[in-house]
Chain A
Amino acid sequence: AQSVSQHNHHVILSEAASLELGCNYSYGGTVNLFWYVQYPGQHLQLLLKYFSGDPLVKGIKGFEAEFIKSKFSFNLRKPSVQWSDTAEYFCAVQSQVFLVFGKGTRLSVIA
């Protein structure tokens, strides 16, 4: 069965610090990869996705992620976080039609 592992449960950063959230998955076949964000009190929103092509994908709000096939990884990055990036971040893998989610990483950005 597929599984998605997010390495950090809770990350606390100061504004302007750089962010990298780890995501690894276990599945040997072709997958689609996603990062979703859930701001406090709001529903899940798509940050970015990878289906094929350039393994470095750019999403909304300055986020990007790099797919490294050999490492089964899809890490999320942002060069400089803002207070408004405080949220829960979920990595997800799609090999069939439904998504398998990681446990999420809570990001807290402090001034």
Chain B
Amino acid sequence: SAVISQKPSRDICQRGTSLTIQCQVDSQVTMMFWYRQQPGQSLTLIATANQGSEATYESGFVIDKFPISRPNLTFSTLTVSNMSPEDSSIYLCSVLYLESNTEAFFGQGTRLTVV
């Protein structure tokens, strides 16, 4: 299993500002993902974080709004840019060891409130 540390665990931000969320894993993982869980909704995949290259974004999500970095196999960041109240959600980091075909592991999430 993987131990995933997400920071911050929660934040309240002013609209128009940006927040960077960090995800640190205790071992090298093949895949890292960022999900969003809006209030009362399910988890939606934002993007796959690719090491050393641009992230792969899902439909409805763009790099200018959600820039992602993954400099190595254990660390990734997600930035929520130019925030609006609609960005208030829980953001979760998820990792997967592709070689072992195990389940995905999730961080504890970052609860973001935009005011």
Interface residues of A (CB under 8 A from B): 4, 32, 34, 36, 42-44, 46, 49, 51, 90, 94, 97-104
Stretch in B16-24, B38-46, B62-70, B78-86 with 4+ CB within 8 Å of A:
B38-46
Known A42-B108, A97-B31; contact A104-B103, beta-carbon cutoff 8 A: no
Taken together as a complex, chains A and B put the C-alpha atoms of A7 and B94 apart, in Å, by 25
Do B107 and A98 touch (CB < 8 A)?
Answer: no
Q: Does B104 contact A (CB under 8 A)?
A: yes
B109's contact among A43, A46, A101, by CB below 8 Å, is which? A43
Known A44-B92, A97-B98, A98-B48; contact A90-B106, beta-carbon cutoff 8 A: no
Known A97-B98, A103-B41, A104-B42; contact A46-B48, beta-carbon cutoff 8 A: no
Known: A94-B104, A99-B104. 8 other contacts (CB 8 A): A43-B92, A51-B101, A90-B43, A97-B98, A98-B48, A98-B104, A99-B45, A99-B94
Tell me the chain B residues, 45-77 only, with Cβ under 8 Å from chain A.
45, 48
Which A residues are CB-close (under 8 A) to B25? none
Taken together as a complex, chains A and B put the C-alpha atoms of A42 and B33 apart, in Å, by 19
> Looking across the interface, which residue of chain A has its beta carbon closest to that of B59?
A1
Q: Does B112 contact A (CB under 8 A)?
A: no
Which B residues are CB-close (under 8 A) to A90? 42-43
Taken together as a complex, chains A and B put the C-alpha atoms of A4 and B41 apart, in Å, by 13
Which B residues are CB-close (under 8 A) to A94? 104
Taken together as a complex, chains A and B put the C-alpha atoms of A100 and B33 apart, in Å, by 12
> What 7 pairs across the A-B complex have the smallest Cβ distances?
A43-B108, A44-B106, A103-B42, A101-B43, A101-B42, A46-B103, A98-B45
